[in-house]
Amino acid sequence: MFLRKCWAFIIKDLYTDLSYRLAFFAQLIFIFFMVAAFYFFGRMFEEVFNMTPWAEEDFNWAPRADIHETVNEYLVQLDLPGLEKGDIKIKIEDGYLTVSGERKNEVDVEDEKYHRVERFHGEFSRSFRLHKNVERTRIKAGFRNGVLEITIPKADEIKPKEIEID
C-alpha cells in the first residue's frame, strides 16, 4: 500500500511538471507565430500600399562612416552623395569631431505623385570621439565624388618608434 501511494505521488508530480513544460513551449510557439505574422503582414502592407506601416520621416538620417588607422594618422571617410562642399560643416569641440550638414530635397513637384521615396533628406550630424594624442591643428578634410575624407594626424608620442640596441 505504501509503495502504491508513493508511486501515485511520483506520477502526479511528473504529470504536473510535464503540463508546465508544455504550457511554456506553447507560449514560445505563440510568440514565434506572432512575430512571424507581424513580419508577414508588415511586408504585405508595404507591398500593397507601397509604404511602410510606420512613418520613416520621423527618423533622422546619418551618413555611413568608415574609420581606419595607419601608423601616422586616422582616416575618417563619410559617404555624402548629392552634397556640395558648402553643405558640410566640420568642427572640433570638447574632444569630439562633428560633421554636420543638410541634404536638400531636390524635387518638389505638385502635379506628380511619388510612388516611393527612399532617399533621405534633411539635416544630419555625426560625432566621433577624438583620441587624446592627435594633432588637432593639423586635421585636414577633402571632398571628392561624394566622399568626405578627414585625415587626423597622430601626435609624435603615440607613433611607434624603433629603438636600436647599442
Least confident window among 88-92, 118-122, 150-154 = 118-122
Predicted TM-score (pTM) of this structure: 0.58
Write down the architecture of domain 62-158 according to CATH: Sandwich (2.60)
Q: Are strands 147-153 and 73-79 parallel, antiparallel or unpaired?
A: antiparallel
More confident position, 53 or 161: 161
Q: 90 forms bridges with which residues in the sheet?
A: 99
- What are the residue ranges of helices labelled H in the chain? 2-49
What is the structure's pLDDT at 9? 56
Q: Look up cell 507565430; give the residue.
A: 33
Listing DSSP states for 31-76 in one string gives HHHHHHHHHHHHHHHHHHHSS-SS-GGGS-----EEEEE-SSEEEE
What is the structure's pLDDT at 54? 46
The answer to whether residue 107 scores a pLDDT higher than 50 is: yes
Average pLDDT over residues 11-16: 57
Average pLDDT over residues 139-152: 94
More confident position, 54 or 143: 143
Average pLDDT over residues 109-122: 74
